[in-house]
Chain A
């Protein structure tokens, strides 16, 4: 069978239209490339819209002493010294320009008294550093970028999902995708491909991620022969909703704590004072009074509240409080801002939290505490890329944003994601356009390969008595939640791998009822293929890392191991099987090491 396929040619295609993808598309277009932007959902619906707290950049509008070096230090220490120092350096040096550029493109950030961009404090950041728009910063960012992209001649393919990258002679030549609306396939020929597909959070039961976050970009890169790093490092955000059951996992922004919200257990104790780790001793307030003074504005003479520790530490503390029987009625802890801020302030600074709790949980956060608990939020790991260009180990294939690994190390700081998208989205778009310019004619499409992928993806239609893709997805999520969640050990991870193997075999027997037009059971069956790759990569890497660090906690290896600090777990496909190896990262140059050790 030879499928007749719609074919589109572009210099650069960008897969995924969140912040990183849009920024990459804008940059590639500005450099003269013809750009196709392919998104799984409608334009402007990507997970970036969910980002609430803000974008971290050392603009120094609120705290003049801030600069990239302090931001760099915070990022490296927050990543538990595991991150790529070069990416962290580029990120913190370029983030301020990227934020100012958004303003020039129409973004309306909240202001300081003297009319500059206001910045709010956030976990792990020494200074108030997050430019924000109330608690809908991501929406503002995506709208500005979306407008810029459509007005600059980027061609957008909405509700279009890439299922395979085309590779010839060791280099990327395009992609094969299907359109949801009609179920037809489409071939893109391109000189360069930028992956900006986001994360893998849909692999867990309790998650803040939407249906799209099935690790497509990670899996596409893996199938194309690229290397993945740090896949064991998944961020469990400390505060997701826990009640009612149907909203479990929905994100409660860290901005609540940034604005003064405090965490209490069932006994009313502010337990975070008990959990300040050694590396941060002396950096955080030691009494409620000191922390209150900091909240009400005296920030030079008081230290910040321990609720603003990094996410890995806060999530683990909450988990421990719950496990030891000090949790709230529905299995979380209490997050209280009502006793720290007046109702008008809360509604102005946290409008969507106010709305979300009122509508979905019947809770008024200006008078009552919220119940919160950890939720799967972000993957630090991803495609291994060159720090300068974001090029993967496969020529012509680039990755930016959550799908790329390295910047955040073992734990990401809040606010560093939005700036990551801008800084590295731009760099990826730039490098992709330049790479494309050096190429000649488009490589011919390998029709036989496309046919094989097409017929493989249609196999579930017409199969009766097969597996229900939704049920398989639910089983996979339960498996990962149980064995590869916030606390892991060898036997659990072994069980996860065995379970994933079995699910993989069953997924090959999925049956899809109905037609190809907008059929979610079919989409779920295809998404499962990506999820199976990324969850396996996560479990294998987690087994390999015999220590606890950042988002990765092993109950059988509860301590960090200095020998593994700069060791990276690299995953690659070899002869059809997943291989795992350890690789040391480049040394941190002494002048940067001095900044990290001694401060600025």
Chain B
């Protein structure tokens, strides 16, 4: 057992500040454990969002010493013992209270992406054939746990507040999951260019760095989508060739 110091944001949209706490911690504890212990013993009304405590649901996103992370997958032993660990809510979304933010905007974005639309079944029994090598690329994007840490770190949202014009890396990942799905037929390039605002992304790769699922957001999702958008909307020769060879 060792006493560790934390500075935790407490407050609402109107007023709030970092508050200092000391918490008795055991071997192997993660930041979420410390927050729970704090809640149980000292701050019962402290708002914290979590579910699985195993890095699988993406509920416990926050900023730990300023960097976006899952609280349940961040071990205390990764931080020096002589300094307090700061825990603050995500900054790209409106605060609800303490460590909890209003992430409903993300759900709105998710609803607007043109949904999956399969080609006609390959077999008379209504099934398809797909091979492992074909599903592996989109499977990377399906690992997304909707933690929204990438949204939090992306400067287009975090600094410039372009929530009305840009769906953010998490939903570019979602769009890529559909676009690279071997059965999908829908064309999302128009949507991505206009409503989705893919042009706002200038490939800084910050999103990739924070993704707890190690999804290579920029290289594997955003760049290929950008190429599709360019091919479909800006490059007449490619479009012509595309039409010629599509047959």
Question: Taking beta carbons and an 8 Å cutoff, which residues of A are in contact with B?
Answer: 41-47, 49-50, 100, 103-106, 108-111, 114-116, 133-134, 136, 139-140, 143, 147-148, 150-151, 156, 158, 181, 210-212, 243-247, 250-251, 352, 355-356, 359-361, 468-471, 474, 512-515, 517-522
Contacts and interface: CB of A to CB of B under 8 A. Distances in A.
8 contacts: A42-B59, A49-B145, A109-B135, A150-B111, A210-B51, A247-B28, A247-B54, A512-B45
Interface stretch (B15-23, B94-102, B152-160, B228-236): B94-102
A520 B46 contact: yes
A512 B59 CA distance: 24
B128 interface: yes
Dominant SS among interface residues on chain B: loop
A199 B97 CA distance: 28
A361 B181 contact: no
Interface of B: 12, 26-30, 33, 39-40, 44-59, 73, 75, 96-98, 100, 102-104, 107, 110-111, 115-116, 118, 121, 126-132, 135, 138-139, 142-146, 178, 181, 183-184
Given A158-B104, A246-B33, 4 more contacts: A106-B184, A116-B129, A156-B107, A517-B12
B75 to A, nearest CB: 8
B145 A139 contact: yes
A143 B142 contact: yes
A103 B121 CA distance: 11
A105 B129 CA distance: 15
A255 B75 CA distance: 26
A70 to B, nearest CB: 20
Nearest to A117: B127
Given A100-B127, A106-B118, A251 B142 contact: no
Given A50-B54, A106-B118, A143-B142, A518 B100 contact: yes
Contacts of A143: 142, 144
Contacts of B97: 517-518
Contacts of A106: 116, 118, 178, 181, 183-184
A354 B152 CA distance: 27
Given A110-B135, A111-B135, A139 B51 contact: no
B130 A246 contact: no
A104 B96 contact: no
A345 to B, nearest CB: 13
A468 B45 CA distance: 11
5 cross-chain pairs, A with B, having the tightest CB-CB distances, nearest first: A244-B28, A514-B45, A521-B44, A115-B129, A106-B116
A50 B52 contact: yes
A45 B28 contact: no
Given A210-B52, A361-B28, A518-B97, A50 B57 contact: yes
A156 B111 CA distance: 12
B97 to A, nearest CB: 5
Contact of B131 (A111, A515, A518): A111
Contact of A518 (B47, B115, B144, B183): B47
Contact of B47 (A150, A359, A520): A520
A517 B96 contact: yes
B55 A359 contact: yes
Contact of A45 (B12, B59, B73): B59
A250 B30 CA distance: 14
A116 B45 contact: no
A521 B45 contact: yes
A156 B108 CA distance: 11
Contacts of A47: 51-52
A244 B29 contact: yes
A41 B59 contact: yes
Given A108-B142, A111-B131, A470 B39 contact: yes
Contact of A352 (B30, B56, B102): B56
Contacts of B184: 106
B85 to A, nearest CB: 15
A520 B28 contact: no
Contacts of A521: 39, 44-45
Nearest to A142: B57
Contacts of B130: 108, 111, 115
A321 B73 CA distance: 31
Contact of A136 (B111, B135, B143): B143
B57 A45 contact: yes
Tell me which of A106, A210, A474, A515 has the highest count of chain B C-beta atoms within 10 A of its own C-beta: A106
Nearest to A181: B96
Contact of A43 (B75, B102, B107): B107
B66 to A, nearest CB: 20
B57 A49 contact: yes
Contacts of B28: 243-247, 360-361
A439 B48 CA distance: 41
Contacts of A474: 40
A513 B45 contact: yes
A414 B50 CA distance: 25
A250 B73 CA distance: 13
B129 A114 contact: yes
A513 B54 CA distance: 29
A519 B47 contact: yes
Contacts of A512: 44-45
A246 B29 contact: yes
B98 A518 contact: yes
B89 to A, nearest CB: 11
A151 B53 contact: no
Contact of B58 (A45, A103, A251): A45
Contacts of B131: 111, 115
Contacts of A45: 51-52, 57-59
Nearest to A146: B110
B54 A356 contact: yes
A360 B31 CA distance: 12
Given A150-B110, A151-B115, A50 B46 contact: no
Q: Among the interface residues B12, B44, B132, B146, which one has the most CB atoms of the partner chain A within 10 A?
A: B44
Contacts of B55: 352, 355-356, 359
A136 B139 CA distance: 11
B96 A360 contact: no
A522 B47 CA distance: 11
A465 to B, nearest CB: 14
A111 B45 CA distance: 47
Given A140-B142, A520-B46, A246 B30 contact: yes
A104 B44 contact: no
A133 B142 CA distance: 10
Given A114-B129, A244-B29, A360-B30, A515 B104 contact: no
Contacts of A134: 139
Contact of A513 (B27, B44, B110, B118): B44
Contacts of A133: 139, 142
Contacts of A108: 130, 135, 138-139, 142, 181
A41 B51 contact: yes
Contact of B40 (A151, A211, A250, A470): A470
Nearest to A250: B54
Given A151-B111, A356-B55, A518-B97, A42 B103 contact: yes
B107 A360 contact: no
A359 B121 CA distance: 41
A133 B136 CA distance: 10
Contacts of B39: 470, 520-521
Task: Point out which of B53, B54, B142 has the most chain A C-beta atoms below 10 A from its C-beta.
Answer: B54
